[in-house]
Amino acid sequence: MRHSKGLKKLNRTSSHRKSLLRNLSVSLIKYEQIRTTLPKAKTLRPFIEKIITLAKNNDLHTIRKLNSMLLDQEIVRKLVNEIGPRVLKRAGGYTRIYKFGFRYGDSAPMGIIELVDKESTKNSSSEKIKKTSVYAESKDTSSKKESVSKKKSTSSSEKKAVASK
C-alpha cells in the first residue's frame, strides 16, 4: 500500500516543483543554510538527503548522476569532495529545520534549513579575527586622534609664546 509516499505539491506543476527543489538544493549546498517557507523546507528535506547519501560514494557514476540532478558542476564538486566525506559516518539525518516565525507580507510560516555538519568553525574564527582587527584599528585611530589633538594644543601654545615675545 502506498500510504504517505507522495510529497507536497506546493501548488505548482511537476516541472516547476522539480526546478524549485533543484534550486533550493543548490542554494543549500552552496551556503549550507537557507531561509525559506516551512512547507518548502519540509519538502526539500527528503530530496536533499537522498542527494547527500549519493554523494558519499565518490565515483564517476555518482558524479554523473548528481550532475543530471543538480545541473551545476561546481556544486557537485563541493558535494562530493567536501560534504560527502564530512557526513560519511552519519547514517542519515543530514539536515535540520528550525521554525523562524512568519513572513511580514503574507504571514507565511518561515523556516531555516541547514546542514547538520556545516563548517561553522572556520566562519566563527574568521569573524573573531575580523572583530579583533576592527577593534585594534579603532584603538589605533583613537590614539592617532589623541596625538593629533596634543600636537594641535602644543602648536597653539607655541604660537602664544611666540606672540608674547
123-153 in b/e form (b: 16+ CB < 10 A) is: eeeeeeeeeeeeeeeeeeeeeeeeeeeeeee
Read off the pLDDT of residues 65-121 as tens digits, 9 standing for 90 and up.
999 999 999 999 999 999 999 999 999 999 999 999 999 999 999 999 999 988 754
Measured CA to CA, the distance from residue 70 to residue 11 in angstroms comes to 22
| Beta-carbon contacts of residue 46 (< 8 Å; ≥ 6 apart) | 7
Neighbours of 42 (CB within 10 A): 15
Average pLDDT, the chain: 83
The 8-class DSSP code of residue 83 comes to I
Read off the pLDDT of residues 6-24 as tens digits, 9 standing for 90 and up.
888 999 999 999 999 999 9
Nearest of 133, 114, 123, 127 to residue 48 by alpha carbon: 114
